[in-house]
């Protein structure tokens, strides 16, 4: 029998809002020698489309997941030296570009969240619908696992993680149950955690909002991988790396990510002049021009074909001014 992990990447992964991403990046990638950075390579669907659509473009692609780099590398092999794949977290973008001798680039894409590969591989522990070890690390060679967090964090710190990163109203109830459980034996599996959460929540909390474990799993994943801290560093660095006329496109999958993206792009699209100035000098003019009106969402047809696209929110901007 063929499992989901045996299928080729192009079958296992449907890139979210693919045509819209290509359309928004396109005007910046038509110039000869243009470089585009895919900061979240995953299984390479967006990268493949960009390399195919723009035959002269050069791709630099980052991912911390070495399994993803290997599979995407096979998928992009036919593009030869037009594609440079780098094992790195996306807040390392400035160092990667410096090492490659690329001070500025024409386009940057972020497709945030968990890749299809990570969700589909049960042993990674990202999906609450399957029983698996509580790992959730995007880079399985380093850092604390979700089990480490659950079994070693002080109760107050666990409550903070669930409230801040999962927006979980019942964080204290869940943590109290975790503490009772780990006093008897460590939490080790996702099914064990899902059952614990279901038992800890009041009936009203189980009737709305989908799987009651969803928010806790999101919070643990963000904590384990430092996702928001990494994104907070990476977005301003990406804006700095854009050439004049360069474009950035960001796909977010939950409100915490989207709020951060909105804040960075809106700040870049606002002038920085003191309020008392009657005319805004050039050095205070906005660095960015927003390309989307708010956050764009996938079409109903795309969500029907790919349910993982449903929470996606897309924002984009163009670099319109060099720094003074």
In this structure, the answer to whether residues 238 and 313 fall within a common structural domain is yes
- Which one has a higher pLDDT value, 8 or 225? 225
Residue 132 belongs to domain with CATH number: 1.10.150.170
Tokens (6 digits) for 279: 């005319």
Residue 35 belongs to domain with CATH number: 3.40.50.150
Range of the domain at 258: 9-117+227-319
Per-residue pLDDT at 169: 92
In this structure, the answer to whether residues 89 and 233 fall within a common structural domain is yes
In this structure, the answer to whether residues 100 and 221 fall within a common structural domain is no
User: Residue 1 domain-assigned?
Assistant: no
Binding residues for S-adenosyl-L-methionine: 44-46, 63, 90, 111, 118
From the list 235, 266, 256, 253, the residue with the least C-alpha distance to 297 is 253
- β-strand 105-111 against 35-38: which pairing, if any? parallel
In this structure, the answer to whether residues 36 and 51 fall within a common structural domain is yes
Kindly report, residue by residue over 104-163, the tens digit of the pLDDT. 999 999 999 765 444 444 544 456 557 788 988 887 777 899 999 999 999 999 999 999
- Domain end position, chosen among 225, 246, 269: 225
Per-residue pLDDT at 56: 95
Round the average pLDDT of the chain to a whole number and report it: 89
Per-residue pLDDT at 139: 78
323, 241 Cβ separation under 8 angstroms = no
In this structure, the answer to whether residues 71 and 126 fall within a common structural domain is no
In this structure, the answer to whether residues 48 and 75 fall within a common structural domain is yes
Q: How confident is the model at residue 12 (pLDDT cuts 50, 70, 90)?
A: low
Q: How confident is the model at residue 2 (pLDDT cuts 50, 70, 90)?
A: very low
Give, rounded to a whole angstrom, the gap between the first and last alpha carbons of the chain.
Answer: 61
From the list 77, 79, 46, 51, the residue with the least C-alpha distance to 63 is 46
pTM (two decimals): 0.85
- Domain end position, chosen among 193, 225, 257: 225
- Write down the H helix ranges in 66-170: 66-75, 93-99, 116-120, 146-152, 155-166
In this structure, the answer to whether residues 202 and 237 fall within a common structural domain is no
User: Residue 274 domain-assigned?
Assistant: yes
Q: How many domains does the chain have?
A: 2
In this structure, the answer to whether residues 103 and 238 fall within a common structural domain is yes
From the list 146, 110, 117, 137, the residue with the least C-alpha distance to 258 is 110
In this structure, the answer to whether residues 111 and 146 fall within a common structural domain is no
- Domain end position, chosen among 225, 252, 287: 225
Please name the residues in contact with 277: beta carbons below 8 A apart, sequence gap of 6 or more: 284
3-class SS letters over 278-302: CCCCHHHCCCEEECCCCCECCCHHH
Binding residues: 44-46, 63, 90, 111, 118
In this structure, the answer to whether residues 100 and 142 fall within a common structural domain is no
Kindly report, residue by residue over 244-294, the tens digit of the pLDDT. 999 999 999 999 999 999 999 999 999 877 777 777 777 778 999 999 999
Per-residue pLDDT at 126: 53
Kindly report, residue by residue over 181-205, the tens digit of the pLDDT. 999 999 999 999 999 999 998 877 6
Per-residue pLDDT at 131: 77
Tokens (6 digits) for 292: 């989307």
């Amino acid at each position: 029998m063929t499992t989901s992990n045996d299928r080729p990447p192009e079958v296992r992964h449907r890139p979210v809002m693919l045509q819209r991403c290509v359309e928004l990046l396109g005007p910046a990638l038509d110039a000869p020698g243009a470089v585009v950075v895919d900061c979240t390579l995953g299984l390479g669907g967006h990268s493949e489309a960009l390399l195919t659509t723009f035959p002269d473009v050069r791709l630099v692609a980052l991912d911390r997941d070495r399994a993803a780099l290997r599979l995407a590398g096979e998928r992009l092999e036919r593009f030869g030296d037009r594609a440079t794949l780098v094992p790195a977290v996306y807040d390392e973008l400035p160092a990667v570009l410096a090492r490659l001798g690329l001070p500025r680039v024409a386009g940057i894409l972020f497709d945030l969240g968990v890749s299809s590969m990570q969700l589909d591989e049960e042993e990674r522990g990202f999906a609450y619908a399957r029983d698996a070890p509580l790992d959730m690390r995007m880079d399985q060679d380093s850092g604390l696992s979700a089990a480490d967090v659950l079994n070693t964090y002080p109760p107050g710190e666990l409550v903070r993680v669930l409230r801040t990163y999962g927006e979980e109203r019942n964080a204290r109830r869940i943590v109290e149950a975790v503490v009772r459980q780990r006093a008897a034996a460590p939490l080790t599996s996702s099914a064990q955690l899902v059952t614990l959460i279901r038992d800890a929540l009041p009936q009203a909390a189980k009737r709305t909002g989908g799987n009651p474990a969803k928010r806790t799993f999101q919070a643990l994943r963000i904590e384990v991988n430092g996702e928001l801290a990494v994104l907070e560093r990476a977005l301003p660095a990406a804006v700095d790396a854009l050439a004049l006329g360069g474009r950035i496109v960001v796909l977010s999958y939950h409100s915490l990510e989207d709020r951060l993206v909105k804040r960075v792009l809106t700040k870049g699209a606002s002038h920085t002049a003191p309020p008392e100035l009657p005319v805004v000098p050039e050095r205070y003019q906005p660095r960015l021009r927003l390309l989307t009106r708010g956050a764009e969402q996938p079409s109903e047809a795309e969500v029907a074909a790919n349910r993982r696209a449903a929470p996606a929110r897309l924002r984009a901007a163009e670099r319109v001014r060099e720094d003074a």
